[in-house]
Structure 1
């Protein structure tokens, strides 16, 4: 601890002076006795503070009120001797009562305590930021967590989330317990932070997990990866919400590109060499400053029962007062996530890998047949699949809880020459399946798209994107339906999608139709495993903290005795 200036101590007796000397020596403090029997020592740099210490019951002062952390910690033995120092958030320093006279400042008032976790048997509560159509929310709900509120700016995406998690439908997951002060509509995170700061502060202790996935287009390798893309700054709003709610744990999902540093071009032009920093690095740095230990790893969704090769950056953070009770801190979250992955496959009776055929073969035209599209959001003239029932265990699992006909099974209306071209691609033995077609193959078939992939029936699907014509069906000359894309993302059949099917032109950046909603979503089964891991993580941290409290109390009693 770097100290300066002087503090006046009114010592009541010689014994107290001797005990104070022990503390002073341990901290390398200098002091001397004055003629008026007062003790002078140095105190916090930058604080013109005069302090008189009287023996009484100790109080707790948060470390973040100090200019820097002490470098030495001492075991607390009795009431006047101790300074107990722990981790930064919720870590407290115990000192005798201080009567403070601070020049130019008000005396310290009440000290905030960190929000508690729910009592045993009570569910963890979560909020979802940048929620999209609700893939992450659905997965956390399937893991036994309960939603409080969700933030999504797009009206179509929010309408889908609302239809499944807010409108009291008869579905196999709990509905959100939406706050009365927050209108049930599409919100931007900046709007809620600006308009409801007081109401958000009152949710401290009531939102235990804060989840979210800021828009990824600015980080994605499929895009232009512009450092100036305003969507890249939205994670800062995420951090602001973390500060407002102080959840016990945080979860963030994004594309792997978030871990890749943007080049600081403007600085290079000036001849200044700077080490480039990724937005993941900036996120970790920002969350560390507000009291969270954070770790991110790239995971493949196909390992969690999702029939899709979809690498994603999963970031998990734990409040530091809890992380210090975990062996390995935030690393422990990913150990528990692996345990949750194995447990999930066992519980759901899923193989290590679910193939495309196992996921969507019951949605083939040849198997199900077609009928005129009845979806109210569809234009006339389209056909849809006439569903007859599941063919595989995964399909049976997906169809549980689906009462009545599925939505979003509308088929694309391809022209005859397009269908003929797609069939030639499917039947071409030289056309690689399961990977993006290379330039020679695209030129051979007159394809102008730079990204198009023919599925393999016996493998998980390639990454489902927001563009419906990025992926071709493995056996039928067509693109996928919204429902097939949702199946490959692990959305259950009871989950309804709302809004337009597609959009184009200038509206592409302004609207979030069904294909885009599905392509942007976190796979619910990946989110389910994350939810199970977070539950185990917080239970473990809470149990360890309780045991430490008991142990310290026993040691204190023995020391006094």
Structure 2
């Protein structure tokens, strides 16, 4: 069995990126996440296998605090050496997705017209770069939303100036070559479109098969990121979620046991227990399958959308962001949706309701054993904050944790690719 590669995960959220990396042979040795509930989700799903994550010295809330406290990073290095034998420069991978609410489409919906340079979270990429400077990992991965590529610091700024600054910051870290690509999760077998900006830095003494020179906006052809997976079939939603359809579900109620057996490969995979073995059977316990309680008007709207092929009849139309009916089967172009932090963006393909937390998690390819801490959902200023009033704290309920995550399947594909770069090629016996 190959030795696990070691990874530090910053801005880890509920752990989608880490889970995919773990499936690819990485082991998390330190986690940072500001939100208590998201951090609790991350830790509670791992502490049984990686007990150190339950100790104070191997998790932290505030990246900026990690950088400003002159003793924190030296102390962390000492703990990594004492527990894992990791000397400076021996950490395999550092990953992070600094908060993106100022750049995402959802963020624009609730940005309160505040310039992005005024949002403290939009500068955390500098703190991540400072930690890379200190820990000198063999490689690093920066991920963020597509909107980052075109965002401006101010209304009068230049389109794309934010990403230019970010790319320059990471290119200026000595001893690394850097490349990035805009990738789509559906190209890696994930049942949603989900565009993400992925930037990879490889230390100069690592990776003999990658192209050190070339266009920075070409990480895939340069070998820093995996190419589109032609060998993986993206599952239709009926194949992903069909086993969770409870014919006896009640509006506002819960389904606590699997209503059907697993039939498709993806259902069997996601129903496999954390410890392995056979997929959970019909009648076994399922968690996070609670239904929102919709009023009569909303139920009528959803039924009408299902009858009319997704179109919202005029009597139900509002100026609010329009909901979309999820298709049971994708068309020729494959998945056309992106799971967001707003649970009510989409309507179930066969029942008049929005998706449950468990169904939402499956869109991101979280297995059914994965449990989420905190509130199920929330709204208004508690979820959005109000930068104009200096309110930057946001609640991160379960739906938002999942919507903010890197899809597990995408993370797994990236992790398998990076593992090949980071592991030395086996020597041929002569």
TM-score (ref. length: structure 2) = 0.81
- Structure 1 residues 341 and 123: alpha-carbon distance in aligned structure 2, compared to 1, 3 A threshold: farther
**Of 103, 116, 119, which residue of structure 2 is paired with 1:227?**
116
**Of 152, 157, 179, which residue of structure 2 is paired with 1:262?**
152
User: Which residue pairs with 1:293 in the alignment?
Assistant: 177
User: Which residue pairs with 2:389 in the alignment?
Assistant: none
Instruction: Tell me if structure 2 keeps the 8 A contact 1:147–1:177.
Output: no
Residue 538 of structure 1 and its aligned partner are, at CA, apart by 2.1
Give yes or no for the alignment of 1:382 onto 2:259.
no
Give yes or no for the alignment of 1:458 onto 2:329.
yes
CA distance in 2, matches of 1:522, 1:176: 24
Instruction: Tell me if structure 1 keeps the 8 A contact 2:191–2:237.
Output: yes
User: Which residue pairs with 1:396 in the alignment?
Assistant: 268
Instruction: Tell me if structure 1 keeps the 8 A contact 2:13–2:42.
Output: yes
CA distance in 1, matches of 2:14, 2:241: 21
SS at match of 1:211: strand
Equivalences for 1:141-290 in 2 at 5 Å? 141-166=22-47, 168=48, 174-175=49-50, 177-178=52-53, 182=57, 184=59, 187-195=61-69, 196-202=72-78, 203=80, 204-224=88-108, 226-228=115-117, 229-262=119-152, 264-265=154-155, 276-290=159-173
Instruction: Tell me if structure 2 keeps the 8 A contact 1:142–1:528.
Output: yes
Residue 176 of structure 1 and its aligned partner are, at CA, apart by 6.2
Instruction: Tell me if structure 2 keeps the 8 A contact 1:214–1:234.
Output: yes
Residue 182 of structure 1 and its aligned partner are, at CA, apart by 1.0
CA distance in 1, matches of 2:422, 2:51: 21
Residue 496 of structure 1 and its aligned partner are, at CA, apart by 1.1
Instruction: Tell me if structure 2 keeps the 8 A contact 1:128–1:150.
Output: yes
Relative contact order: is structure 1 or structure 2 higher (C-alpha 8 Å, sep ≥ 6)? 2
- Structure 1 residues 176 and 341: alpha-carbon distance in aligned structure 2, compared to 1, 3 A threshold: farther
SS at match of 1:133: coil
- Structure 1 residues 277 and 422: alpha-carbon distance in aligned structure 2, compared to 1, 3 A threshold: closer
User: Which residue pairs with 2:83 in the alignment?
Assistant: none
User: Which residue pairs with 2:239 in the alignment?
Assistant: 358
CA distance in 2, matches of 1:411, 1:275: 44
Instruction: Tell me if structure 1 keeps the 8 A contact 2:243–2:267.
Output: yes
Instruction: Tell me if structure 2 keeps the 8 A contact 1:467–1:515.
Output: yes
SS at match of 2:377: coil
Residue 457 of structure 1 and its aligned partner are, at CA, apart by 0.9
Residue 464 of structure 1 and its aligned partner are, at CA, apart by 0.8
SS at match of 2:301: helix
Residue 461 of structure 1 and its aligned partner are, at CA, apart by 6.0
CA distance in 1, matches of 2:344, 2:131: 36
Unaligned runs of 5+ in 2: 81-87, 275-279, 386-393
Give yes or no for the alignment of 1:305 onto 2:189.
yes
SS at match of 1:365: coil
Instruction: Tell me if structure 1 keeps the 8 A contact 2:344–2:354.
Output: yes
Output one character per residue of 1:483-520: Cα deviation in whole Å (capped at 9) or x when no partner: 00111111011111121101123321421110011100
Report the count of equivalent residues. 385
CA distance in 1, matches of 2:340, 2:105: 12
Instruction: Tell me if structure 1 keeps the 8 A contact 2:11–2:98.
Output: yes
User: Which residue pairs with 1:128 in the alignment?
Assistant: 9
User: Which residue pairs with 1:64 in the alignment?
Assistant: none
TM-score (ref. length: structure 1) = 0.63
Give yes or no for the alignment of 1:481 onto 2:365.
no
- Structure 1 residues 325 and 305: alpha-carbon distance in aligned structure 2, compared to 1, 3 A threshold: closer
Residue 316 of structure 1 and its aligned partner are, at CA, apart by 1.2
- Structure 1 residues 501 and 354: alpha-carbon distance in aligned structure 2, compared to 1, 3 A threshold: same
Instruction: Tell me if structure 2 keeps the 8 A contact 1:140–1:528.
Output: yes
User: Which residue pairs with 1:523 in the alignment?
Assistant: 407
CA distance in 1, matches of 2:303, 2:104: 31
- Structure 1 residues 514 and 232: alpha-carbon distance in aligned structure 2, compared to 1, 3 A threshold: same
Residue 279 of structure 1 and its aligned partner are, at CA, apart by 2.7
SS at match of 2:183: strand
User: Which residue pairs with 2:419 in the alignment?
Assistant: 535
SS at match of 2:140: strand
